[in-house]
């Protein structure tokens, strides 16, 4: 199986939904003149179109239909083994000056980059179909919602975009014929799926994206990381809102009090699990519901609170480790109508991955298409194998997910994967201190991006790979938003991954994270169950509800401990990180660093 597929010839009534917006038509013609496709397929997002495309994708070997009894409406795609994750080193921000892209981005000069990309794209779609995918990010009636058009020569991208975005006529209608309407131009071509010709380029000033040489979701579903985060964060700063790498969840108490929280964790650190959490039996009557699992767009409401929408329409989650034990709601969501990528195929036409419930199959076809048995040295599923699933499959989807104004956010949570130093949970002293916590966040790297796994790297607000402009200006924007919020969310930091001296996790995680969430909600409701420490407010030993949890006192003390030795090293790392940014860090955050250091001395 591969992404590359020859042109398809749709019957009449399919693939001919040409919009009327002149600039869109002109742009598509321009790209077609350059890439020379055999034909143009205008997507409308309908059921009929999707069914026909799925048939073609099977015929061409781009997807394989799974056993209809075991996984109704579901398909498996295998990517080129050289193309399984985001490529941060080939992801470019093309702004007129290097300073605008800032110290954390790979910068390239726009005119030169366009010339280079146009050279790569010349004739690239010969013998292929050029698909035009109109889509919106955000609920149809939200003021935050953005229109995008993605041109692609990958049928897999079209099928995935229909899951991940509100795709087709809804976008054409939203843009209308207004020549001044704002819309994103996205061009994607697989070229020859060659890592040496792979570039993911963003032109924030032009609201444009060009991605070549890859078929992996994070590089090619241009709606997601490219528009909703990189271009989105640029637009958000210009327009006074926030585009963040955050899940959004609702939490309702047995007596009907409801709060929403947004949480930024780096890629593959459990955002999807947290967003679908099932409270342990002791929390009878508590409900957690999902607004989003990856991206939050947030604006300031008339009441001075922060309101969030999920711009996406589906989840593109990491499969390995997903089980009825770790995330029953995700498992239920991916039982049907799911597009799997790079998992193993069982002999009965089902899918399998490491960490799934039950024993491994005696035989399977691994993600590369080779025979696999439990004795094989290679993994059956790629560690970054994914599911793409419509959010409506989620049994705990929040009823307000389509609300245009968004949901009010009571708490913002930052968190990373840290074996040491960072306590299970603590609360920032105020907004700017919270911004400092986000700005100095760090996490052990995962398989979501190419490169070494398990190394601690600073990942401010989990946005290091996704902030589309200068990170110093991004921090300044956060501080500015805080000044405008008369009723700001409280800010917290969590770490589910702290380990004891024996190298084992101290905290059970998953559903038991409800215990931490409950403390966060209590604090939002004014509870005084906390003790002040140099790093912020920590729960006291008895402030976390640990009833019916088998955990010894020593573990809890370790989880909530602030080890001065570890923190001295951490403070050095904060300073080293800020210094590495070359003078862009706002004074407010430098002062936060100094205040933190002096709190340890007093």
Nearest in space to 54 (alpha carbons), one of 62, 44, 42: 62
The secondary structure element, H or E, covering residue 457 is strand 456-458
What DSSP assignment string belongs to 47-70?
HHHHHHHHHHHHHTTS-EEPPTTT
Shortest approach of ligand OXD to residue 17 CB, angstroms? 29
Q: Which residue is at the shortest CB distance from ligand OXD? A: 267
298-317 positions binding ligand OXD, by CB under 6 A: 316
Nearer residue to ligand OXD within complex by CB, 143 or 195: 195
Query: What is the three-class DSSP state of 446?
Result: coil
**What is the DSSP secondary structure assignment for residue 167, as one 8-state letter?**
E
Across 128-156, b (16+ Cβ under 10 Å) vs e yields bbbbbbbbbbbbeebebbbbbbbbbbbbb
Q: What does 86 bind: Mn ion, ligand OXD, none (CB cut-off 5 to 8 Å by kind)?
A: ligand OXD
Q: What does 413 bind: ligand OXD, Mn ion, none (CB cut-off 5 to 8 Å by kind)?
A: none
269 an active-site residue?
A: yes
Residues 6+ apart with CB under 8 A from 248: 260, 261, 262, 275, 290, 291, 292, 296, 308, 310, 407, 409
Among 21, 71, 78, 86, the residue binding ligand OXD under the rule CB under 6 A is 86
Shortest approach of ligand OXD to residue 267 CB, angstroms? 3
Q: Taking CA 229 as the corner, what is the angle to CA 447 and CA 121, rounded to the nearest 5 degrees?
A: 80
Among 91, 105, 267, 327, the residue binding ligand OXD under the rule CB under 6 A is 267
Shortest approach of Mn ion to residue 88 CB, angstroms? 13
Query: What is the three-class DSSP state of 22?
Result: helix
Shortest approach of Mn ion to residue 267 CB, angstroms? 5
Among 139, 168, 186, 218, the residue binding ligand OXD under the rule CB under 6 A is 218
Q: What does 293 bind: Mn ion, ligand OXD, none (CB cut-off 5 to 8 Å by kind)?
A: none
Q: What does 190 bind: Mn ion, ligand OXD, none (CB cut-off 5 to 8 Å by kind)?
A: none
Site string for ligand OXD, 115-154 (x = CB under 6 A): ----------------------------------------
Tokens encoding 92:
């470019």
Nearer residue to Mn ion within complex by CB, 447 or 589: 447
Nearer residue to ligand OXD within complex by CB, 85 or 585: 85
Contact predicate 444/265, CB 8 Å: no
Among 294, 312, 493, 543, the residue binding Mn ion under the rule CB under 5 A is 294
Q: What does 350 bind: Mn ion, ligand OXD, none (CB cut-off 5 to 8 Å by kind)?
A: none
How far is the C-alpha of 254 from the C-alpha of 381, rounded, in Å?
40
Among 83, 294, 473, 545, the residue binding ligand OXD under the rule CB under 6 A is 294
Nearer residue to ligand OXD within complex by CB, 464 or 521: 464
How far is the C-alpha of 557 from the C-alpha of 532, rounded, in Å?
15
Contact predicate 398/291, CB 8 Å: yes
Shortest approach of Mn ion to residue 106 CB, angstroms? 19
Query: What is the three-class DSSP state of 296?
Result: strand
Tokens encoding 251:
């939490």
242-281 positions binding Mn ion, by CB under 5 A: 267
Query: What is the three-class DSSP state of 41?
Result: strand
Q: Which residue is at the shortest CB distance from Mn ion? A: 294
Nearer residue to ligand OXD within complex by CB, 447 or 514: 447
Nearer residue to ligand OXD within complex by CB, 321 or 529: 321
- Convert 121-133 into a string of H (helix), E (strand) and C (coil): HCCCCCCCEEEEE
Tokens encoding 239:
């327009």
Q: What does 448 bind: ligand OXD, Mn ion, none (CB cut-off 5 to 8 Å by kind)?
A: ligand OXD
Shortest approach of ligand OXD to residue 178 CB, angstroms? 32
Residue of 269, 467, 524, 555 marked catalytic: 269
Neighbours of 277 (CB within 10 A): 24
Q: What does 77 bind: Mn ion, ligand OXD, none (CB cut-off 5 to 8 Å by kind)?
A: none
In terms of Cβ atoms closer than 10 Å to its own Cβ (0-12, 13-18, 19+), residue 123 is exposed
Nearer residue to ligand OXD within complex by CB, 316 or 367: 316
Shortest approach of Mn ion to residue 229 CB, angstroms? 8
Shortest approach of ligand OXD to residue 526 CB, angstroms? 34
In terms of Cβ atoms closer than 10 Å to its own Cβ (0-12, 13-18, 19+), residue 493 is buried
Nearer residue to Mn ion within complex by CB, 294 or 473: 294
392-451 positions binding ligand OXD, by CB under 6 A: 448
Q: Catalytic amino acids?
A: 269
Which residues of the shown chain bind ligand OXD in the complex (CB under 6 A)?
A: 86, 218, 267, 294, 316, 448
Contacting positions for Mn ion (CB under 5 A) = 267, 294
């Amino acid at each position: 199986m591969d992404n590359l597929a020859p042109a398809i010839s749709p019957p009449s009534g399919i693939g001919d939904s040409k919009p009327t917006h002149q600039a869109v038509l002109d742009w598509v013609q321009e790209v077609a003149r350059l890439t020379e496709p055999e034909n143009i397929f205008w997507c409308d997002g309908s059921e009929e179109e999707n069914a026909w495309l799925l048939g073609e994708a099977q015929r061409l070997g781009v997807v394989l239909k799974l056993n209809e009894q075991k996984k109704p409406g579901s398909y498996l795609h295998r990517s080129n083994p050289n193309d399984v994750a985001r490529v941060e080193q080939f992801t470019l921000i093309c702004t007129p000056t290097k300073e605008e892209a800032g110290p954390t981005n790979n910068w390239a000069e726009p005119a030169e980059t366009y010339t280079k990309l146009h050279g790569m794209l010349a004739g690239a779609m010969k013998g292929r179909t050029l698909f035009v995918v109109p889509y919106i990010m955000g609920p149809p009636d939200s003021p935050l919602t953005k229109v995008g058009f993605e041109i692609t020569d990958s049928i897999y991208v079209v099928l995935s975009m229909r899951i991940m975005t509100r795709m087709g006529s809804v976008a054409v209608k939203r843009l209308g014929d207004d020549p001044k309407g704002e819309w994103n131009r996205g061009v994607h071509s697989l070229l020859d799926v060659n890592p040496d010709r792979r570039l993911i380029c963003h032109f924030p000033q032009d609201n444009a994206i060009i991605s070549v040489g890859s078929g992996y979701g994070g590089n090619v579903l241009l709606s997601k990381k490219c528009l909703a985060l990189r271009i989105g964060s640029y637009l958000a700063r210009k327009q006074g809102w926030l585009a963040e790498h955050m899940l959004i969840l609702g939490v309702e108490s047995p007596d009907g009090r409801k709060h929403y929280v947004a949480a930024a964790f780096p890629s593959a650190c459990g955002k999807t699990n947290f967003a679908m959490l099932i409270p342990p039996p002791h929390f009878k009557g508590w409900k957690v519901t999902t607004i989003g699992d990856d991206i939050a767009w947030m604006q300031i409401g008339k009441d001075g609170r922060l309101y969030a929408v999920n711009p996406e329409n589906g989840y593109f989650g990491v499969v390995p480790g997903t089980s009825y034990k770790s995330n029953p709601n995700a498992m239920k969501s991916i039982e049907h109508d799911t597009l799997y990528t790079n998992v193993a195929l069982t002999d009965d036409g089902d899918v399998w991955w490491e960490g799934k419930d039950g024993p491994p199959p005696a035989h399977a076809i691994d993600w590369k298409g080779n025979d696999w048995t439990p004795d094989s040295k290679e993994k059956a599923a790629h560690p970054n194998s994914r599911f793409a699933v419509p959010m409506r499959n989620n049994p705990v989807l929040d009823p307000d997910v389509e609300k245009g104004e968004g949901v009010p956010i009571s708490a913002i949570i930052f968190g990373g994967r840290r074996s040491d130093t960072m306590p299970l949970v603590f609360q920032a002293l105020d907004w700017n201190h919270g911004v400092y916590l986000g700005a100095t966040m760090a996490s052990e790297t995962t398989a979501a991006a190419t490169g070494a796994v398990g190394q601690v790297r600073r990942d401010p607000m989990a946005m290091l790979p996704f902030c589309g402009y200068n990170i110093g200006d991004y921090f300044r924007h956060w501080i500015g938003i805080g000044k405008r919020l008369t009723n700001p969310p409280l800010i917290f930091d969590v770490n589910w991954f702290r380990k004891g001296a024996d190298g084992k996790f101290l905290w059970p995680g998953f559903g038991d994270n409800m215990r931490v969430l409950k403390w966060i909600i209590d604090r939002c409701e004014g509870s005084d169950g906390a003790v002040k420490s140099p790093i912020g407010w920590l729960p006291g030993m008895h402030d976390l509800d640990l009833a019916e949890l088998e955990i010894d006192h020593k573990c809890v003390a370790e989880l909530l401990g602030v080890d001065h030795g570890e923190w001295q090293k951490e403070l050095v790392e904060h300073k080293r990180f800020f210094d590495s940014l070359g003078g862009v860090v706002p004074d407010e955050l430098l002062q936060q660093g100094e205040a933190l250091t002096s709190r340890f001395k007093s």
